[in-house]
Amino acid sequence: GSAAVIKVITNMLAFIHLVAAGEALMLAKQGGLDLAQAYHAIVASSGNSFVHETESQLVLNGSYDIGFTMDLALKDLGFALRMGKDFGVPLDLAARVNAIFEQGKEAYGGGAWSTQIVKLLE
């Protein structure tokens, strides 16, 4: 029903945001910025998101423990991509993020926390 559709949509957005936040933090790191300051600057900007506020903290403190695995992320991204195909919506960004999570699964295993996807950028 509609609850399942919105769950897939919101999870798809969360995974896209997670990869984007990871890229932003790695860009800040390579640019010589203090990551804590960069985190707070992003929170106060138009680039902020719920995912950045919550999951970036887990990346920065090194725990990565979000309670959601690579396998679960790939399952939900797969549902989103199938839905996009069924509804005629291309979902190019979701397809790219799915490929990134496939790389993450290959590198860290399906049981690794989904936030560990950011490690691919280090």
pLDDT tens column, 31-83: 999 999 999 999 999 999 999 999 999 999 999 999 999 999 999 999 999 99
Reported pTM: 0.94
| 2-121 belongs to CATH 1.10.1040.10 | yes
DSSP assignment of 12-74 equals HHHHHHHHHHHHHHHHHHHTT--HHHHHHHHHTSTT--HHHHHHHHHHHTT----S-BHHHHH
